[in-house]
Structure 1
Amino acid sequence: MYPFWPTLIKPLMMAADPRTIVEVGSEAGKNTSNLLEYCRERDAVLHAIDPAPKFDVGRWQQQHVGRLTVHRGLSLEILPRLSHYDCVFLDGDHNWYTVREELRIIDETAARTGRLLPLVFLHDMGWPYARRDLYYNPASIPEAHRQPYRRKGIAPGASALAERGGHNADLCNAEHEGGPRNGVLTAVEDYVKEAARPLRLVVIPGFSGLGILFDPDRFAQTPAFTKLIQNFSLSPLLARYIETLERSRIALMVRPAPQPPPPAPR
C-alpha cells in the first residue's frame, strides 16, 4: 500500500486527523514506517497486526514507545480485542471471507462504542485479487467460504490458473476468477450492500488498486476531507487510461514462463 502514501493516503489522513490507527498486514513494515511518521507528527498511536512481521518488532517498539503496539496474530482474532480506532488499513489475507469479516468486526466495534465507521483503506482492489481469492493459510478459512484453489500462478486476462509460471505461483489462489464470494473488491461491494447505513466506496486504479471506504456522516463536519475526497473521483476516460497503464505494468511484471527446450533429435 506504500506506493499510494505520499500523493493519496497521507493527504486524506491529514484531513481526517485520525488518532488511533490499525494496520492489518505489516509484513516488512514499509507502510508501517509511513504510519509511524504520521503518528509522530499528529500525536497518534498505531496498532499493527501481522502473524509473522518481517521487521525487528522489539527494536521498533523500543524506538516508538507509546506510539506502536504490534499484535502477532490473525486480524479476525485481534480486531475484536481492540476497543476503538479512527482509521484502518486492510492489506492482509486477500480473500472474500477474511475481508468481509474484517469489515463486519470494524463496523460492529464502532457501533458498540457509539461511533461511525472508521476511515478504511484497502489494498488489492484491482488485479489480481479484486475478483479472485488468495489464501495464505487455507485451513484458517471455513470450508463453506473457501473457493477451490491450487498452488498455481495467475496469468493476466485468464480466469483459470496458469499451468506454468504466472503471478504468485507459490501461493494458494482460487482456481477461477469471478463469481460470488470471490475476491477483495467483491467482499467490499457485498458489505456495502448489506451495511446498516449508507457507506461510500472510492476505488483508485493502479498498483493493484486502492479502496477508500467511509461513512459520509462521519466527515459531514470535516470540510477538508470532504473537499479532498471529491477530487478522487475519476472520469471514465481517465480511469480507462490508468487501467491501460496498469495492464502495461502487469505485463512487464508477469512474464510468460520460459518454454522447455525441444527434445534433441535422435
Structure 2
Amino acid sequence: MPEIAEVETIKNDLISSAVFGQKIVDVKVYASTLINEEKTNFIKQIKNRYLVDVLRKGKNLIFDLDSVYLLIHLKMTGHIFLKNQKDKLEKHEHIVINFENGKKLVYYDPRRFGKLLLQKDLSILDKLGPDILSKDFVFDHFYETLKIKRKKIKTLLLDQHFIAGLGNIYVDEVLFLSKLHPGKIADTVSKKDAKNLFSSIKEITLRAIKNRGTSLGKSKSNFASIFEDFGNHQNHLLVHTKKRCPKCFLKIEKLKINQRTSHFCKNCQKL
C-alpha cells in the first residue's frame, strides 16, 4: 500500500507535470464501484474543470479542481499514471481523465480497493491525525497523546487518527531507528524515547521521499510513479523485509501484531 512517501512522490510529480493547470475535457469511468457518485454525475462535476492544485494529507491524494475536490486513496494496488490520450487503454485502467493538451491521467488498480471521492470541501479529512510533514505535527501534542494510549506502539503508529501517513513499511523502519520494540505499550515510552521516535518519524519519511518511495517488487502491483518508474528506497531499508540487522548483524525477527507483520531486531529493540 502506498504510504506517505509514495503519495508525496506522486503529488510532487503531478505538480511539475504537463497536466498541472490544464483543463479536463473528458472523463471515462469503467468501474463505478471506485467512485462515490453516480457515474454521470461524477463525470459532469469533473469535466471542464481545471487541475489547479494537487495536495496530500496522510495517504490521501487530493486534486483541487476549483471549488470541488477529488480525493484519491490508492489502498493496496492503486496507481496514477500519466499518459498520452492516443495510448491504448490497458487492463485494470478503470478511470481516465483526459486533458486539453492531449495528455491523460489513468487510475490503475488490479484489486479495485481504491476510492475516488468527490467532495465540496476537505472536512472528511478532519478525522485524521496531523500529517507528518505539516506544521501541526509537533512534539508536545505527539507526546501528550502517546502517554494516554495503551496500544502497542506499532499499532498506534499505524492508526491514521493518531498521525497520518505511516504504513507497515515505514513504521518498522521508524521503530528500528528509535530502538523501540514494536510490542512496547505506548504510554510506557519515556519522554527521551518519545523524542527519538518523533525525530525518527520525520527522518525516515524524508529519506523515503528523497528516494522516491519504496517498491518491494517489479510487478505492476508494486508502487510506481506517474511515469511508471519504481521507487528506490527499497535499496535503503533498514529492517523491513531484511534478513540481518544492519547494526549487530543478528537475524531480523518477525512478529504479528494486529494481523500486521513487524520486522525488528530483538537485540537492538528490546522490550
TM-score range, shorter chain: under 0.3
Relative to total residues, which structure has the larger helix share, 1 or 2? Answer: 1
- Structure with greater strand percent: 2
Higher relative contact order (CA closer than 8 Å, sequence separation 6+): 2
Question: TM-score, length-normalised on structure 2?
Answer: 0.26
TM-score by length of 1: 0.26
